[in-house]
Amino acid sequence: MASLRLKGVHAVVTGGGSGIGAAIASALAAEGVRLTLVGRTSQTLEKTAVELRAELACEVHTETADVADRQAVDAAFASARAEHGPIGILINNAGIASSGPFADISTETWRQTMAINLDALFHCSQAALPDLLAAPAGRIVTVASTAGVRGYAYIAPYVASKHGAIGLTRALAIEYARTPLTVNAICPGFTDTGIVETAVAKIQTATGRSAEQAAAELTRFNPQKRLIEPVEVADAATWLCLPASRSITGQTILVAGGEVM
Shortest distance, position 247 Cβ to ligand NAP, whole Å: 25
CB of residue 182 to ligand NAP, shortest distance in Å: 19
| 193 touches ligand NAP by CB under 6 A | yes
- The amino acid present at 78, given as its one-letter code, is A
Minimal CA–CA distance to 165: which of 218, 225, 95, 229? 95
**Per-residue three-class SS string for the chain:** CCCCCCCCCEEEEECCCCHHHHHHHHHHHCCCCEEEEEECCHHHHHHHHHHHHHHHCCCEEEEECCCCCHHHHHHHHHHHHHHHCCEEEEEECCCCCCCCCHHHCCHHHHHHHHHHHHHHHHHHHHHHHHHHHHCCCCEEEEECCHHHCCCCCCCHHHHHHHHHHHHHHHHHHHHCCCCCCEEEEEEECCECCHHHHHHHHHHHHHHCCCHHHHHHHHHCCCCCCCCECHHHHHHHHHHHHCHHHCCCCCCEEEECCCCCC
> Of the candidates 99, 113, 125, 191, which one interacts with ligand NAP according to CB under 6 A?
191
Q: Residues 98 to 127: which contact ligand NAP by CB under 6 A?
A: 116
**From the list 11, 20, 236, 253, which residue makes contact with ligand NAP (rule: CB under 6 A)?**
20
Q: Is 17 in the site for ligand NAP (CB under 6 A)?
A: yes
Q: Which residue, 60 or 135, has its beta carbon nearer to ligand NAP?
A: 60
User: Rounded to an integer, what distance in angstroms lies between the CA atom of residue 87 and that of residue 49?
Assistant: 18
Single-letter code of the amino acid located at 235: D
In terms of CB distance, is 176 or 190 closer to ligand NAP?
190
Q: How far is the CB of 134 from ligand NAP (least distance, A)?
A: 25
Of the pair 137, 149, the CB lying nearest ligand NAP is at 149
- Start-to-end Cα distance in the chain: 35
Q: Which is nearer to ligand NAP, 9 or 38 (CB)?
A: 38
Would residue 158 show up in a list of annotated catalytic residues for this protein?
yes
Residues 55-74 interacting with ligand NAP (rule: CB under 6 A) = 66-68
Question: Least distance from C-beta 114 to ligand NAP, angstroms?
Answer: 12
Under rule CB under 6 A, residue 41 binds ligand NAP? yes
**Binding-site string for ligand NAP from residue 141 to residue 180, where x marks contact by CB under 6 A and - marks none:** --x-x-----------------------------------
Name which of 31 and 66 has its Cβ closer to ligand NAP.
66
Q: Does 44 bind ligand NAP (CB under 6 A)?
A: yes
Residue numbers of the site for ligand NAP (CB under 6 A)?
14-15, 17-21, 38-41, 44, 66-68, 93-97, 116, 143, 145, 188, 190-191, 193-196
The catalytic residue positions are 158
